[in-house]
Structure 1
Amino acid sequence: MLDTYESNKSICLSKSCSEVYITKSNFERIANKKRLEVEQADFEDLYDSSLSIMLTVPELRGLYNYREFLKNPNLFIQALEKNNNQTGIYWVWEESSGPAFHCNKDCNRLHSDYINVEIPPEITDRGCHEVGKYTSFVEANFELLKSDDRLFLKRLEAQFFLKNPPKTIKGSNSGTTNIKNFDLIELKDSIEKVLRDAVSFKNKDEETSKIIRDKGYGTNRVKEAKVSGHPLFVWHKYKVELKRLLKGYYSSKYNREFKFEPSLLQQLGFKPCVCCKK
């Protein structure tokens, strides 16, 4: 009876809202899980100029997914059907009752800050006991994660002998920081500046150029990129900022408020937020 009640309540709430909102973090989570089939040539139209001078194919694919899902949310369903039998990305804090959508765009839960840590395949492959130890460690070191995620990841890698650092998501759900109120011209100016500054830094001398040429694409995997002042540390910051601005550019252009049809979100496992006013 309870399941029937909850199902009926979900249907009634969704009918009362023709469009609903989700958090930026939930959008990124499902965009990361659902992969679109894409040819590498399609990456060339991600921006007015080529981004391959700075970003790897996986990074470009991630931006492509992000943009295409914003432009055409129904692609989520197509990707869901194709990816049903594929292993997804698991996070320490998965919403036990499913992610929520919001009728009220001013709902506090829609705008709260978020933070999460991936449970990498290295851990899931070791079994449930190791996953439990991993999540317990993350929860016990939550304050360090909030204050210094680089140090947190360093300790996490040492504790569990990880070969590759896990992904983290951290930020504000009220829109990409310092982006929400930008117009497209301002965003493009900011993107162009990052591209110019990054290329200028890369070419400042032969040593820096060689280091970035040899290791600059995989800055998320190399130890030098975690050393403040190292050329790869600076290069990694440019890459992170570029991706942040590009995501802001795509959302401002196609779906600034992360607004979707409730029926689509329900197919993706979302449920109505219990705190939103009907």
Structure 2
Amino acid sequence: MAYITLSNTNKIIFKSNLKNLNLVGDLYKIPIYFFSKYEESALLAIQELLKNPEKYFNEIYIPYEPVDTFTLVYEGKKPSYHKFSDCPRLHSVYENFEIPSEIVKLGKEKVNEFRNWFETVKNLLDDPQIFVMRLKLKWGIETNPNAILIRNSGSTEVENLSIEELENKIDLIIKNAGKFYYDSEKNKTILSK
């Protein structure tokens, strides 16, 4: 089995142009009114994937192609899959660094050169003064790259439920959503809008 973060899963699934899909069908055995048109399209697309994978991959799915804007140290790579659910990289914080604009202006070749150089000195980031000194020696600039840290989106396991078990779970969620709606006038007013 392979594992992937929720963030990368969403990049792959929602790359398809869900807004322009004209999928029709029932989401469930009873109408569900609290989904937006986009959410309905996403759920119908996933339903189509599960019912008819060949049609989904031939007509709906758009393969994920990473984009490199040449503004970050680590970008332009395909999502990573992990062999084990306890892989440290699967649960790590997303860390990246903005490439100084002075280098971005020099073009893609210099950006790639900076990326390679950065790998050799990133251990100096713990001491910003030394890092900036090396940056100035090599590149003639003193702009310390901005760090980007994003909490891990987590991973998920898909339960292999029977249809009956799944319907019971969905029914309970719909029931609780209805209770919440009718719980107060405030809830009804806000959710109606």
**Structure-1-length-normalised TM-score:** 0.38
Q: Which residue of 1 aligns with 2:34?
A: 54
Equivalent position amino acid for 1:50 in 2: P
Q: CA deviation at 1:193?
A: 0.9
CA distance in 2, matches of 1:82, 1:94: 21
Q: SS state of the match for residue 171, structure 1?
A: coil
CA distance in 1, matches of 2:2, 2:146: 31
Q: CA deviation at 1:210?
A: 1.2
Q: CA deviation at 1:67?
A: 2.6
Equivalent position amino acid for 1:33 in 2: K
Q: CA deviation at 1:31?
A: 1.4
Q: CA deviation at 1:29?
A: 2.1
Q: CA deviation at 1:34?
A: 1.1
Q: SS state of the match for residue 78, structure 2?
A: coil
Q: SS state of the match for residue 14, structure 2?
A: helix
Q: 1:181 to 1:207 in 2, by over 3 A?
A: same
Matched residue count: 139
Equivalent position amino acid for 2:14 in 1: N
Q: CA deviation at 1:198?
A: 0.9
Larger Rg: 2
Q: Which residue of 2 aligns with 1:172?
A: 155
Q: Deviations over 1:94-141 (max 9, x none)?
A: 874423567xx65765x934777xxxxxxxxxxx89xxxxx94642xx
CA distance in 2, matches of 1:98, 1:80: 16
Q: Which residue of 1 aligns with 2:26?
A: 45
Identity between Structure 1 and Structure 2 (%): 19
Equivalent position amino acid for 1:35 in 2: N
Q: SS state of the match for residue 33, structure 1?
A: coil
Q: 1:38 to 1:81 in 2, by over 3 A?
A: closer
Query: Post-superposition, which runs of at least 4 consecutive aligned residues in structure 1 deviate over 6 A?
Result: 81-84, 92-95
**Structure 1 regions of 5+ residues with no counterpart?**
1-19, 117-127, 130-134, 147-169, 215-278
* 2:16–2:61 Cα contact (<8 Å) kept: yes
State whether structure 2 residue 16 is matched by structure 1 residue 34. yes
State whether structure 2 residue 90 is matched by structure 1 residue 112. yes
Q: Which residue of 2 aligns with 1:207?
A: 186
Q: CA deviation at 1:195?
A: 0.5
Q: 1:97 to 1:35 in 2, by over 3 A?
A: same
Q: SS state of the match for residue 46, structure 2?
A: helix
Q: SS state of the match for residue 55, structure 1?
A: coil
**Structure-2-length-normalised TM-score:** 0.51
* 1:35–1:65 Cα contact (<8 Å) kept: no
